[in-house]
A and B are shown apart, each in its own frame.
Chain A
């Protein structure tokens, strides 16, 4: 319990675009403990996406150190990174990134396909179904993404992120493509999952959305400029109840 899920020390990430060297992340030191729900905020170009890609083991840091669940990530090759992503991380993207023409259940199963040791078909089905139930889509397993609403698609993506019981769920603007009400529902789902003990790191540029998190990290020009606990936390469950009441009243009136 003592090792943080994420342990960043002076993390640096530079890109070479043509002649110019872009310093996207310049020295970030950050610990994230188990059970936290962190929002990483910042304008575009602040380096938050780059930080996210590095945290997601999709990219290697150029300098500093990154330990994911105690494992030093620097120096691992593509295969070992793939293994880490498969076992310890779950991804939720702004554009859902589901496989089209593939059922929701098959989409959720996807990470288990690549897990070692092998997960047999029956267990894959069972775990994918459980994950779908967890996100409230137990009865939609056979639907294809095109037959689901945006909110439902994002739920399928969240189920996929959860299916391999990761140490950490990384969400990149998860509500960016959703309307307000659906956004609140999705944030509510994240809050529920977090209460159940799942660690979540979320990138967003919207303060409204960040307000559902427990801790807010703000970045600018590749550096962390503020790191505070969220004293004024929004609760999606409550807001939804209020929203429902308001709708009820509007309909009656």
Chain B
């Protein structure tokens, strides 16, 4: 048994040597043949990396919204054919928000939201920014931290105190490098004391800058800034991702009941379910990744056919050589192995170079498009495995053809 294994190993080694020598003799042809596989493997690796990168980016944007976030927006307002957009209709009240907090199970945090745009004046400068009224829970819901100072409290909200937490962009515009905490800012001529500075969060899902805003207690916003008793939206955090579906259903029926909507009427509010969006985006980007991978896989297949083509040419061209080898005692298996090793070497070599250039291409896309491509080990292993299988599969027929040659005719072949 050991002797047999030894024979197989040493023989394969010797045969591999013959095969490699043959490949080296036809350098140009070998590299052109491998090019098919190189392109195939490189595109699989790069495409999947880009797809994964896109998915990771979108997922991180969604999770930057907060954890298990449900947002109820007031419906849109139509007047004279002009649609003012989500949250513009006056349908959700503070009483609605209170009822949601009280009756929808699994709500762990709630923040009523009022939003408007106003000129903020401080430090001798002025800047037009979003003024957002929220509850102290807002930072927890949005998973947002302060880089300085503190958030306003429940007591501040109850008392409609004139305190504000400022976004980093707004702070920079108004105060430059100065620490804004403790400074005063005037919004619609009302002075607010800045008690906290938000960490930078970057662009949101819609592309708007989330750092350009001033957050004040919602009570203060309603009383002193908008004078309105309706809310733009209510932000809710649900206890776990698994409970979000149920919470959304409860929320819908509660609001329909409170707004006295009959069965035929449309909702006068909209619910944004973070998990639903994340799931949709994930499945869409998964499909895109899969598609990209499939396209690349097809080019890998084409590369494999290229290998078969060249191997067939090679067998025909070397008919005489094969005849000589058979005449001096090569077994059919020796010949088969020789050509199989040639094919597999071509595709493995192509696979190796392909993986390297695929990773390189992915990095390049990352640099050019300011985008982090994620090269997955899985796609590398897959591409390698597939290219080996392709080498064996497309090498098998030419190898078999070579091994089956009749030595008498092969020796006579011109």
Contact = CB atoms under 8 A, between A and B. Distances in A.
Interface of A: 53, 56, 58-59, 78-79, 82-83, 85-87, 91, 93, 97-99, 101, 110-111, 113-118, 160, 164
Chain B at the A interface: SS class: helix
Contacts of B7: 116-118
B155 interface: no
Interface string B282-323: 000000000000000000000000000000000000001101
A116 B334 CA distance: 12
Contacts of A110: 324-325, 328
Given A93-B411, A101-B25, A113 B327 contact: no
Contacts, number: 60
Nearest to A78: B332
Contacts of A101: 25
A64 B159 CA distance: 118
Contacts of A118: 6-7, 10-11
B240 interface: no
B411 A97 contact: yes
A53 B206 CA distance: 82
A54 B82 CA distance: 98
B326 interface: yes
8 contacts: A58-B327, A79-B333, A82-B331, A86-B328, A97-B323, A114-B325, A114-B330, A117-B3
A111 B328 contact: yes
Interface residues of B, number: 25
Interface string B365-382: 000000000000000000
B407 interface: yes
Interface in B356-414: 407-408, 411
Interface of B: 3, 6-7, 10-11, 14, 18, 25, 320-321, 323-334, 407-408, 411
B32 to A, nearest CB: 20
Contacts of B327: 56, 58, 85, 91, 97
Nearest to A157: B324
B145 to A, nearest CB: 69
A59 B334 contact: no
B328 A91 contact: yes
Contacts of A86: 328-329
A194 to B, nearest CB: 21
Contacts of B320: 97
Contacts of B334: 114
A82 B330 contact: yes
Given A116-B7, A117-B7, A97 B324 contact: yes
Given A59-B408, A97-B324, A82 B10 contact: no
Contacts of A53: 408
A164 B329 CA distance: 11
B407 A58 contact: yes
A53 B407 CA distance: 10
Contacts of B330: 82, 113-114
A114 B411 CA distance: 18
A110 B17 CA distance: 13
